[in-house]
Every structure is written in structure tokens, then in C-alpha cells.
Chain A
Amino acid sequence: GENVEQHPSTLSVQEGDSAVIKCTYSDSASNYFPWYKQELGKRPQLIIDIRSNVGEKKDQRIAVTLNKTAKHFSLHITETQPEDSAVYFCAASTPIDDYKLSFGAGTTVTVRA
């Protein structure tokens, strides 16, 4: 099955700086890559996603890039703010198992004021 690895496991950034989280996946057929944000004590929520026919997608201060050749995708957060502090999970799904997501281990992002 699909295996998703996520790095780094923790990330501390100064407010206003950028944060980048990278995920690699094992199944070259994977075609959908969402990112979820889980604030402390709250439920995970979808913040952005990308499909395999797109190389980059932006939504205000967050963007996701996909490199299908290298089988990796990344989340970029610019101009970080304290409310960006959370655990971020990447995930992937394949056409064969299109009912489920395989998640990475998560990255704990701390934005220092």
C-alpha cells in the first residue's frame, strides 16, 4: 500500500518567516494530496489539496507544490503568524484505494512571536 513520509517532525520559525514541510510518497499512481491542520485540542481540518494534474496551488499564505517525478509534495506557509502554530498532516490517495487516505506522521509547527 501507499507509504507517506513527512519531514521534519517539528519545526520552529520566527513570526513572519516561511515554513516548509515536505512529504514523499511511495506509489507513483497516487493522484490526490491533501493537507490537514490540527490545532491543539481541536480536530484536523483540510486546509489545501492538490491533484496529480497540477504542479502548484496557492491559497493566500499557503501553497502546495507537487513533483511527480520525485514523488514528493510540499506545503509552504509564508509570513507565518502565531495562529499557524499547529500539527500539519500530509496525505495521499491512489486510484485503486480511492476511498481512503494514507497520512504522514505529522509536523508540529511552532511560530515564535
Chain B
Amino acid sequence: DGGITQSPKYLFRKEGQNVTLSCEQNLNHDAMYWYRQDPGQGLRLIYYSQIVNDFQKGDIAEGYSVSREKKESFPLTVTSAQKNPTAFYLCASSIGGQVMNTEAFFGQGTRLTVV
């Protein structure tokens, strides 16, 4: 279905390797977000972007990097500096502006396992 797509669904990487998670949306949304979901900790914001070519750190940005070269795409790179990268990663998008005025639409997530 259309909307927001994350790929791949499952990803395995060796420790010390960088890995990039894909997030694409065809909703014409300005804002995009990356969250990390761990058991018992809910969703924590990694990075967000309110507009193309601009992004800001969220609450747990260390060890991650992003780019926003196109409106439709917001890839997340998990670097070797991230001490505990194994997690479920969710991407979201919204029209933009205040969150109370716009619903966040989520992708189906990527489960990253680092061995």
C-alpha cells in the first residue's frame, strides 16, 4: 500500500559495521521522524526533519546519522559508534508543523540485529 515504506523489514549486521535503514514516503509530507523502540521503553526520538535539507537531533541521536536530500526520503545510518544498535526502528512522517495539528503516519519498521 502507499504511504510510508521502510526497508528491509529485518536486517542483520556484524558488530562494527555501519548500516543504513531506508524510509520513503509518497504522502507529500514535509516532516519525517526516526524512532527507536525497545521493550519496556516505548518510542524514543532519534532524529527528525521538518523540511528538505534540514534535520535536528532528537533525544537519542548519538551513534546515528541522517540525511534529507529529497522530500520523500529520510535514511537513517546506524554507525559503529552506537553502543547498543539492536532494536526495532520506526520511521514516521507528518504534514509538518505542530504535532497537535497533524497525525504522524508510521512505517512498519525495521528490526535490526547486530551480531
Contact = CB atoms under 8 A, between A and B. Distances in A.
A98 B98 contact: yes
Nearest to A31: B100
Interface in A34-79: 34, 36, 41-46, 49, 51
Given A43-B90, A46-B103, A103 B42 contact: yes
Interface residues of A, number: 27
Contact of B43 (A51, A99, A103): A103
A46 to B, nearest CB: 5
A42 B97 CA distance: 26
B interface secondary structure, majority: mixed
B104 interface: yes
Contacts of A103: 35, 42-44
Contact of B58 (A49, A93, A100): A100
Interface stretch (B18-26, B65-73, B77-85, B106-114): B106-114
Interface of B: 31, 33, 35, 40-45, 48, 50, 58-59, 90, 97-100, 103-104, 106-109
